[in-house]
Amino acid sequence: MHYNEVRDLNIKKVITILSIAILALLSLSGCTTFDNFKQAFIDKPQEKDGVIQIGVFEPMSGADKEGATLEIEGIEIAHEIYPTLNDKKVELVYADNNSDIDAAETAIETLISKKPAFILGSYGNVYSLAASHYINAAKIPSIAITNTNPLITKNYKYYCRLCYVDSNQGSLLARYVLEDRKEKQAGVLVPQGNDAATATASSFVDLIRGETKDDDAITLYEDFEPGATDYSKVLNKVKKSGVKQVLLVGDLQDASNIINQAAKMKLDVQFLGNAEWGSQEFRDSLNKSVQSSNLAFIQFFASDGEDPTKAVSKEKEMFLSAYKQKHGQDAEPDDAVALGYDAYCLALDALSKAPENATSEDIMNMLTGPDYQFEGVSGVFNFNSIGDPIETAYVSTWVQGQVSTLYTIESVE
């Protein structure tokens, strides 16, 4: 047998063995394994000259799809307005984490293999936390849009975020009480066994006590049972205390139940809550007897939040015009849509300002450095050394089915 024939026979044997191995692997692991194999080897991305890829890591299916849809809409509106950067096409590369932690790890690995310049997302703290280790190892700059868990940026160099963490929201509400309402006393209602709620309450209490230099400035601090149906006991304590502003933290359902019962009791109290109170879901859960004056909550975007002496920024005009073109002139974008828009624009801004041949580490150092500033539709952003924002925030309420700004808080760390 000639050398060439032996060589051809050996090649055929190797191919046969590899084919059998792949078939065996597929039979053991099913379709998911084949999809992973296909993505990793058959669909392996090729280098694309003149294209900048931005990864979109979101739960596009499953239980958290609705929240992700808002972030994605903002990203896509921004992409429609800014489809190129420095004469290069910007391409959005999507990775669906299926609202599942295990799927999130597979999805982020697949997305990283495509080597995007930036990664945006994910909606849902747990999915970003699941991805954080992989993002850090790959050194890809990433932007969390609505995540409030402090560990996402604290433990991972390559993540920054666009919204304040829970504890910061407590401080912002305390500033509203002191600066706008001119009150020197307040109350707190906190659910039992909720660490995030306790962190928000602690920052609220600390700032009010610190600014007033009065340890008795918090005249009411009561916990309540999550999921209860009757809150009259705790609300009678609120009434007896005489406080006008009460921080109410915890589950949305508990908050709406407490506010509804307080309205029935005709308590003259303004309850203070986090950014989730700006959702339509929360508004729909409130009784008609609840007045605008009974509510104040944090928002990260306000279409009416500009100083009336200033013109609305051109960026905000473009964003609102594009949004209303899709949803109607009376429609108002959710915080998450505006922050999704800003996340995309921030990524492009960082890439445009980075020096030629800058590494991912250089870009993150620039973002978290003292000289970086970005003005988006939701306000002016700087970032502290761990990637948390120093930005504009708004305290708002619901007026005739629309969110209305009560007070604007300029950038604060």
375 DSSP β-pair partners? 380
Q: E strand or H helix at 391, and its extent?
A: strand 389-399
- Backbone φ and ψ for 156, nearest 5 degrees, come out as -135, 115
248 DSSP β-pair partners? 189
The CA radius of gyration of the chain, in Å to the nearest whole number, is 25
Among 200, 142, 193, 135, CA closest to 166: 200
Q: E strand or H helix at 280, and its extent?
A: helix 280-284
pLDDT score for 51: 96
Residue 222: is it exposed, middle or buried by C-beta count within 10 angstroms (0-12/13-18/19+)?
middle
In this structure, which topology does domain 48-164+309-392 adopt according to CATH? Answer: Rossmann fold (3.40.50)
Averaged pLDDT in 10-residue chunks for the chain of 413 residues: 44 45 41 37 46 98 96 98 96 98 97 98 97 97 96 95 93 97 97 94 97 97 96 97 97 97 97 94 95 96 64 87 96 95 98 95 96 93 95 93 91 61
pLDDT score for 304: 72
Q: What is the DSSP letter of 279?
A: S
Encoded amino acid at 34, one letter: F
Whats the size of the chain, residue-wise?
413
pLDDT score for 166: 87
Predicted TM-score (pTM) above 0.75: yes
pLDDT score for 312: 67
8 Å CB contact between 71 and 145: yes
The residue whose two tokens read 């849009």 is 145
In this structure, which topology does domain 166-299 adopt according to CATH? Answer: Rossmann fold (3.40.50)
